[in-house]
Amino acid sequence: MSLLDLSPLLADLFLSYANRAAALEPEPATSSPESEERKALREIITALLEENQKLKSETRGMVRKLRATEVSKEVLRSRTSSLKEANTSQLDDISSLRGELVQVEDEYDRFMADSGAERAALRVEVLDLEVRLSSSLVVPG
């Protein structure tokens, strides 16, 4: 491969130099078909060089946007990762709290059962006392 094929910048410089050199050459007074063809080729080369510069500029813009997108993607991945960690932590907390709730509900149920039994025992005592009190208050006739 030639150096011009390996380096687009070198190729651009060569074409630019060739165009300038061709522009400095005096044109013959009479236009020959060959000079018309050279002029047309120079115009094509100039247009291609301009298009090449425009495409390079667009490519640089796309590369900048791509880099910015990559940075945004990494930031998003980082945020997603931290949110996943927070979610996992919260799920663990919820699981722990549910376990505590079950324990508290069991204790409450036992307390209510014990309380109900105590209430029933106290009612029996109150009724027994009321019976004794009423029998001691009854005057024999």
The residues spanned by each domain of the chain are 3-137
pLDDT tens figures, 8-60: 776 777 777 777 776 666 555 555 778 888 999 999 999 999 999 999 999 99
Would the pTM count as exceeding 0.85?
no
pLDDT tens figures, 101-133: 999 999 999 999 988 889 999 999 999 998 888
Q: Please give, one letter per residue, the 3-state secondary structure of 114-139.
A: HHHHHHHHHHHHHHHHHHHHHHHHCC
Closest CA to 20 of 45, 53, 55: 45
What pLDDT score was predicted for residue 126?
Answer: 92
What pLDDT score was predicted for residue 30?
Answer: 57
Confidence of residue 1 (pLDDT cuts 50, 70, 90): very low
